[in-house]
Structure 1
Amino acid sequence: MNKPNRHPAGVLDIGLEAFLPRGAYAPDARRARTSPFFDRSRAAVNEAAQPGALSNLLESLRHRQDWTGPWYKRGVTALKYLLRSLGMAAQHQRFLALIAADPVLHAYRRRDPRLLERHMHRYVNAHWHRRDRLTYLQQHYRFAKAHLPSGLYELVYAMGHASLGSLTAKDGSLLTLCLRPPIYKGCEGELCLQLCDVNEEPLYSIVFSIADELPALMIGCLQGPRGDHAKDVVRELTRILHGMRPKQLMLSLVYTFARHYGIERMVAISNDAHPLRRSGRPLFSDYDAFWEEQRGQRIGGGWYALPASLPHKSEAEVPSNHRAAFRRREALRLEAEQLLLNALAPPVPAFRRAAHEASRIPFPVVAGSGNGP
């Protein structure tokens, strides 16, 4: 009579240990077949294959006016983008889903398609890995959406420009403050604060991003005018600001932004870590010298750690013959900071505004009530 068929070892939860002498050990073959790298790769592929992931990736190929040149050159650029996307499939898909789900970012992506692949190129810090770049890119927009007033968030990223108000300079001319997204195909940060002329043409810019998990404010650019007459423009601008250097005003405004949101950690990019340093394009500013002048301390990773607050002179420290100019300079700085704070403050609901206005109306004194004299 034939013997009944028996399952080989390992089937129905019977391991190799059943066939070994007592005390012998056999490694778990099921565990040996996997590895952390394999598990992560499989999870990434599974996430990239979720419904909507393919449509987001295909959508990211459309309206790519940042891909220039003849058709074959644009095709090579698209192929590079797809290969880079596959190299970090899960993370990139999450970023595309974030943009697709936010109407403001979707509108911004149509204006500057480079947003979709900012993390695949040089960005903020030359020492960052592409996953670092994507992490900080996502953190900034998570912060912006959660904390910027909705109207300001839409003006900056969907419309591309938010005017914060005007300052009257020493000569009577008007200077304006503006918030904008980074320049087209920018690589130095995600929020640009500008001092502009009356026509809102930029004179000075400072670009920064927010890392909301630290939290920290990261300055990637502080740039003045360019061209043959740049020094003359800066000299004249300093004069009409009552002797205040424009880059000092811009840094003071960024500190105001950080203080408004309770951000205590401030870092600024060094010369050697700037993303344009290795691109062959010249840098017109010596960042290291300016950060050290502001008592910044060089730390690892290409950063300067800036002090928690900027040092400001008191009126007593200024010679008596310069105190009038000092007071005008400080008044102008405080006015600029207040313009920024007004823009960052969330709008007051109508019922709270009405209650506030009512509280300012003196309580009427009724004749004969005993409240009057």
Structure 2
Amino acid sequence: MGPAAFRARCGTPPSCTTTSTWGPECGPIFFAQVAAQPIIWQQQTADAAFGIRLSYPLLGWNEGELSLSFFRNDTLLQMLPFVVVPGAVVGAPVPRALLVGQVQGTRETAAIRLATKCLHDSTPAHLLVHATYGVAAALRIGHVAGVSTQERLRDGPKCHFDYDAFWQQFQGQRLATQLYLFAIETPEKPLEEVKAKYRPRTLRKRHYKQHLRREVAQHWRAAFLRAAPQCHPAASS
């Protein structure tokens, strides 16, 4: 799906002024900006242009829910809808958390492999998670929650994504609510525990993802929080 078709399907929802969970940083102007589906991160390689867009969810909109979408040129590869919720909603002892409801992508595995190879062996799904870390950092939110395989809304023979295994890669803690919770500042595996021949590759991947996270956070602050920099709430722990 190209950007034009994507924009046509992700238009402005009928009501987009709720700010209770997003906090005072994001008011009606912010939601109008989202309707324009801005690019919040991009990278040009020798063969392709990669980018992450902020929009309303492609497959329907629930009040307050947004989506990050990963593109290679004009092709949509991965989507990650999310929403800011009170910590109590996900069963976490924190003021707010960023809840990821699904991770969906193209069935064109060759396109995913090509993008991964171009981006320091980082899959589009992993990069979108790190983009949400950047969003959370900009909003001073310290934790992200993700739906488990058991609790995913869509199931069946065409739904193969293993949410449990995916979130465990981010050291997610499974809660009694059957959601995974993880801190965006979770320490990485000590480099000494990585085989010596893989350490340079591991360092490149880590630096790349951290750089993406910082770029998203900086873009979010500059583009969406400029009008109310004094309103940032304290980071949740």
TM-score of the superposition, structure 2-length normalised?
Answer: 0.71
Query: Corresponding residue for 1:295?
Result: 171
Q: Which of 219, 226, 229 lines up with 2:100 in the alignment?
A: 219
Structure 2 residue 113 is matched with structure 1 residue 235: yes
State the Cα distance separating 1:165 from its structure 2 match.
Answer: 3.8
Query: Corresponding residue for 2:84?
Result: 210
Mapped contact 2:21–2:86 kept (Cα < 8 A) = yes
Structure 2 residue 133 is matched with structure 1 residue 258: no
Q: CA–CA distance in 2 between the matches of 1:188 and 1:108?
A: 11
Mapped contact 2:55–2:68 kept (Cα < 8 A) = yes
Q: Which of 207, 221, 225 lines up with 1:345 in the alignment?
A: 221
Query: Corresponding residue for 1:154?
Result: 32
Q: Which has the higher strand share?
A: 2
Q: CA–CA distance in 1 between the matches of 2:161 and 2:64?
A: 16
Query: Corresponding residue for 1:283?
Result: 159
Listed as ranges, the gaps of 5+ residues in structure 1 are: 1-106, 117-136, 351-373
Amino acid at match of 1:178: R
1:301 is paired with a residue whose SS is coil
Structure 2 residue 45 is matched with structure 1 residue 164: no
Q: Which has the higher helix share?
A: 1
Q: Which of 121, 145, 148 lines up with 1:267 in the alignment?
A: 145
Deviations, residues 261-312 of structure 1 (Å, cap 9, x unaligned): 22223221112212223xx574231101212232222222231222453443
Sequence identity percentage: 21
Q: CA–CA distance in 1 between the matches of 2:82 and 2:157?
A: 20
Mapped contact 2:72–2:115 kept (Cα < 8 A) = no
Mapped contact 2:145–2:179 kept (Cα < 8 A) = yes
Q: CA–CA distance in 2 between the matches of 1:149 and 1:315?
A: 42
1:295 is paired with a residue whose SS is coil
Residues 218, 225 of structure 1: CA spacing in aligned structure 2 closer, same or farther, 3 A cutoff?
same
1:142 is paired with a residue whose SS is coil
Mapped contact 1:145–1:153 kept (Cα < 8 A) = no
Listed as ranges, the gaps of 5+ residues in structure 2 are: 1-10, 88-94, 228-237
TM-score of the superposition, structure 1-length normalised?
Answer: 0.48
Aligned length: 209
State the Cα distance separating 1:149 from its structure 2 match.
Answer: 7.4
Q: CA–CA distance in 2 between the matches of 1:194 and 1:109?
A: 17
Mapped contact 2:138–2:218 kept (Cα < 8 A) = no
Mapped contact 1:189–1:220 kept (Cα < 8 A) = no
Q: Give RMSD over aligned pairs.
A: 3.5
Residues 284, 184 of structure 1: CA spacing in aligned structure 2 closer, same or farther, 3 A cutoff?
same
Structure 2 residue 122 is matched with structure 1 residue 244: yes
Deviations, residues 18-77 of structure 1 (Å, cap 9, x unaligned): xxxxxxxxxxxxxxxxxxxxxxxxxxxxxxxxxxxxxxxxxxxxxxxxxxxxxxxxxxxx
1:153 is paired with a residue whose SS is helix
